[in-house]
Amino acid sequence: MPSPETSTAATFTGRQLACQRGERLIFRALDFALAPGGALILIGPNGSGKSSLLRLMAGLTPPAAGVLAWDGVDTREDRAAHRGRLHFIGHSDALKPVLSPRETLVFWAAMRGAAAEVPQALARFGLEGAADLPCRYLSAGQRRRLALARLTASSAPLWLLDEPLTSLDAEAATQLLAAIAAHRAGGGQIVLSTHAPVELADAARLSLADFRPAREGLLA
Amino acid sequence: MNPFLALVARDLRLALRQGGDAAMVVGFFVLTVVLFPLGVGPEPELLQRIAPGVVWVTALLAALLSLERLFQADYEDGSLETLALLPLPLEAQVLAKCLAHWLVTGLPLIVVAPLLALLLQLDAAGYPALIASMALGTPTLSLIGAIGAALSLGARRGGVLLSLLVLPLYIPVLIFGVAAVESEIAGFGARPHLLLLAAFLVLALGLVPFAAAAALRLALE
């Protein structure tokens, strides 16, 4: 298990964040702080902006208002550095049907220029048996496991996980929680959104419903 | 491995395993050129006269054919999102993907073009200029196409939109590509036209990564 270097561990904070999709304001005046080793669980009904907040944290969408900061420095000042410190696992698995899980993980690790820990990552998520099959033969659960295996194949201090438990069986969910626990023990941070009840030791919960704007409309 | 080369290698591997693109582009190129002697008749003088134009126009259309897939597959399966969040700038990734696209589609076109020119009775003096102009022109086609491919992501009927966006931008490459061959045959030398094609390539290498990466970021928002 690669542990993030302690020098890169820093507090990840958001101040007065607002998110707008099209004409609609989804949340506003949202604050959070995530210390090294911390975990933040995003909860809320469908459409409350859990995925939007994760995409905003990753830098895929700019916030309509507010500032995201890493160690007190605005993440937009050095986007490459911010991208280098995070793993984002969205709804789609980002797999190619003709590549095997091993090739997939080797590729993504090479793209991060990191020392690949591919065999360990495959073993951690129970994919050794399918390591050399083309991904088109994998089941939905195996595909999800492979997407998550990217997390441990190369190290990054901040994990942003959008509904990571979708289509995972109980065993894989346990493996994921173990990977998360190990990551946090090494000083890493986690933000995950979920509908399923997740038990993480001293994790903060953020209910997106609390930041819904009082009335529909554009940002003033 | 260097991330840039890793991305080129991955795109080449995908293209080779999926097979379709290179074969389709070359197949289209060959079949379309073969249609011309059938359509306009077999007179050698006529074919010789139109050979440079026919080869260039069909090569251009063949290159267009595979462009839609340049970012589309990565966009649909979520890979593009993951790629955009890598430390390697999206601009460099655009260049890597264009390089892989050119190796898979542009290079085979250059290999096949002299054979098709033979079929069209191209004057012997024109071959070096044809190969040189295509070697300089087809990378520009891949690069310009990347802007169109990035802009048309997520659009319905993206392929048609892509052609409308990209074909007008292909005109300078077409004009000077054909002119290089014709002036070499006429004895004036292809050098000025080849230099202009090289200038287009340098310009595209400098500008396309920024334009295409900006369009990709918009598509991902």
B14 touches chain A (CB under 8 A): yes
pLDDT of residue A5: 44
Query: Is A94 in contact with B77 (Cβ distance < 8 A)?
Result: yes
- The strand pairing partners of A159, in sequence order, are A87, A190
User: Does the predicted TM-score (pTM) go above 0.80?
Assistant: yes
Q: Is A76 on the interface with B (CB under 8 A)?
A: no
**Residue appearing with tokens 């991305």:** B7
pLDDT at B103: 94
pLDDT score recorded for residue B5: 94
CB within 8 Å of A26: residues ≥ 6 apart: A19, A20, A47, A48, A49, A52, A212
B21 interaction partners in chain A (CB closer than 8 Å): none
Residues 165-204 of A with CB under 8 A from B: none
Mean pLDDT score across all residues of chain A: 86
Q: Give the C-alpha separation, B123 to B112, whole Å.
A: 17
Residue A167 reports pLDDT greater than 90: no
DSSP assignment of B8-56, as one string? HHHHHHHHHHH-HHHHHHHHHHHHHHHHHHHHH---HHHHHHHHHHHHH
Beta-carbon separation of A83 and B14 below 8 A: no
| Least confident range of A50-64, A110-124, A134-148 | A110-124
Q: Are A15 and A134 in contact (CB under 8 A)?
A: no
All residues of chain A having their beta carbon less than 8 Å from the beta carbon of residue B97 are none
Smallest Cβ–Cβ distance between A95 and the set B6, B77, B89 belongs to: B77
Distances (CA, A) of A69 to A78, A85, A161, B84, B117: 11, 13, 19, 20, 60
Q: Is A16 or A214 the better-scoring residue by pLDDT?
A: A16
**Residues in Cβ contact with B158 at an 8 Å cutoff, skipping those fewer than 6 apart:** B68, B72, B152
Q: Could you give the count of Cα atoms lying within 13 Å of B134 in the half-sphere of its Cβ?
A: 27
d(CA A157, CA A82): 10
Mark yes or no for CB contact B77/A61 under 8 Å. Answer: no
Instruction: Classify residue A151 as exposed, middle or buried by CB count within 10 Å of its CB (0-12, 13-18, 19+).
Output: buried
The distance in angstroms from the start CA to the end CA of chain A is: 47
Tell me whether residues B82 and A94 touch, CB distance under 8 A: yes
pLDDT at position A4: 44
Chain A residues within 8 A of B88 when measuring between CB atoms: 111, 113
Chain A residue with CA closest to B17: the answer is: A98
Interface of B with A in 28-87 (CB under 8 A): 73, 77-79, 81-87
pLDDT higher than 50, residue A1? no
B127-151 vs B191-220: helix axis angle to the nearest 10? 20
Q: Which residues of B touch A115 (CB under 8 A)?
A: none
CB contact under 8 A, B81 and A112: no
Helix (H, G, I), strand (E, B) or coil at A162: strand
What is the Cα–Cα distance from A67 to A38, expressed in whole angstroms?
20
- Separation of alpha carbons B49 and B31, rounded Å: 20
Tokens of B99: 């390089």
Instruction: Give A23-46 pLDDT, tens digit per residue.
Output: 888 888 899 999 999 999 999 888
Q: Give the A window 84-143 contacts with B, CB below 8 Å.
A: 84, 86, 88, 90-96, 98-99, 103, 107-108, 110-113
pLDDT-based confidence at residue A9 (cuts at 50, 70, 90): low
**The 3-state secondary structure of B137-171, one letter per residue:** HHHHHHHHHHHHHHHCCCCCCHHHHHHHHHHHHHH
Asked if the Cβ–Cβ distance from B6 to A107 is below 8 Å, we say yes
pLDDT value at position A7?
Answer: 45
Per-residue pLDDT band at A217 (split at 50, 70, 90): low
Instruction: Tell whether A59 lies on the interface with B, counting CB pairs under 8 A.
Output: yes
Instruction: Give the closest of B3, B81, B87 to A60, CB-based.
Output: B81
Contact (CB, 8 A) for B173 and B142: no
pLDDT at A2 over 80: no
Query: Could you read off the pLDDT of A83-103 as tens digits, one per residue?
Result: 989 999 988 888 999 999 999
Residue written as tokens 């930041």? A211
Q: Choose among B107, B172, B165: nearest CA to B139.
A: B107
Q: How many CA atoms are closer than 13 Å to the CA of A76, on its beta-carbon side?
A: 10
Number of Cβ pairs < 8 A linking chain A and chain B: 68
Instruction: Give me the residue label for tokens 């655009």.
Output: B94
To test the contact with chain A by mutation, choose from B14, B81, B93 the residue with the greatest count of A C-beta atoms within 10 A, namely: B81
Strands A24-34, A12-21: pairing is: antiparallel
Instruction: Give A-chain residues touching B4 at CB under 8 angstroms.
Output: none
- Which positions of chain B have pLDDT values less than 70? none
Chain B residue with CA closest to A19: the answer is B221
Q: Residues of B with CB below 8 A from A96's CB? A: 14, 73, 77, 79
Token look-up 């793209």 returns A111
Tell me the percentage of chain A whose pLDDT exceeds 70: 93
Cβ neighbours of A88 in B, within 8 Å: 81-82, 85
| DSSP letter, residue A13 | E
A111–B77 CB contact, under 8 Å: no
